[in-house]
Amino acid sequence: MFRLCQRYFTNISWYLPCESSLAGYAFYHMADLKLYDIIDLEPLRRYILTNGERRSYRRRQHFCTLSRPAQEIGLVISGGFAFSRPDYKGDRQILSLAFTDEIIGAYITPDFSRRSGFDITAMCDSEAAVVSLDAMTDYIDRELPGFRLQFTTAIATSFMLRGIAYRCESPESRYLELLRRLPHINGQMSNTAIASYLGIARETFVRMRSRLNDQIRDSDQNGDTDQSF
């Protein structure tokens, strides 16, 4: 599937990243929150991996819960997590996704009494390294002066770009980016969940995926037709 997905990206070169630039983030990673392209998170990543408690999460198990205090932050070791909350009709909407080496948590400000604005739930059997927010901010203030403001700004920028993508990018391009990040996403998320993440109806997503598969089969010159979107 990944090889097939690559064929589509060769035909949309404008969607490829501009190296080490915010513009590159805006084009290539608008489909989701990708903080690494805005700020160097390697010191924070190393801290969480070194000091964090490794926890296993079963499918649908919560990392944090909507409207409850969220006082931990984690780094995904394996698997994936979905950020979600119900809409005005009570239907659950997928707001964002996090996979290996990406950060999960409800960190916006250093106010530890702030309640989470979403559920963070494991999409499959997953593992994460987890530290408390107070320990993390103590480390940041001690070892990385000024990083807290940069981190908060990066999160705000990421949400802004995510919102722009939701309104301005096509569902197809955002789905292809999702496949690029996790080629086997269709085995980990239902059609309904993927459609929610893309902001389209389930039936629209099924038709779109079928159309992509048909295009791949029509253009395949090597007989590699056993994989699909």
| 127 within some domain | yes
Residue 225 lies in a domain: no
pLDDT band at 170 (very low <50, low <70, confident <90, very high): very high
Q: Phi, psi at residue 81, to the nearest 5°? A: -130, 145
Region of poorest pLDDT, from 74-78, 177-181, 221-225: 221-225
Say if 12 falls within a structural domain: yes
Q: What is the pLDDT of the chain when averaged over all its residues?
A: 78
The domain tally of the chain equals 1
Q: Which residues pair with 121 in a beta bridge?
A: 62, 82
Query: What phi and psi, each to the nearest 5 degrees, are found at residue 75?
Result: -125, 125
CATH of the domain at 69: 2.60.120.10
Distance CA 166, CA 181 (A): 17
What residues contact residue 149 under an 8 Å CB cut-off, 6+ apart?
none
Contact 196, 92 (CB under 8 A): yes
3-state helix, strand, coil in the chain (%, to 5): 45, 20, 35
pTM: 0.74
Helix or strand holding residue 213 (H, E): helix 202-219
Q: Is residue 192 part of a domain?
A: yes
Whether 229 is covered by a domain: the verdict is no
Which residues have a Cβ under 8 Å from the Cβ of 46 and sit 6 or more positions away?
Answer: none
Question: Which tens digit of pLDDT belongs to each residue from 25-67?
Answer: 222 232 355 666 677 888 889 999 999 999 999 999 999 999 8
Please give the average per-residue pLDDT across 150-161, as a whole number: 81
Side-chain-side CA neighbours of 170 within 13 Å: the count stands at 7
Does residue 226 fall inside a structural domain?
Answer: no
What residue has token string 């501009």? 18
pLDDT at 214 exceeding the cut of 90: no
Task: Decide if 40 is inside a domain.
Answer: yes
- Contact call for residues 178 and 164 (beta carbons, < 8 A): no
Q: How far apart are CA 88 and CA 90, in angstroms?
A: 6
In a domain, 228, yes or no: no
**Residue ranges making up the domain that contains 193:** 2-219
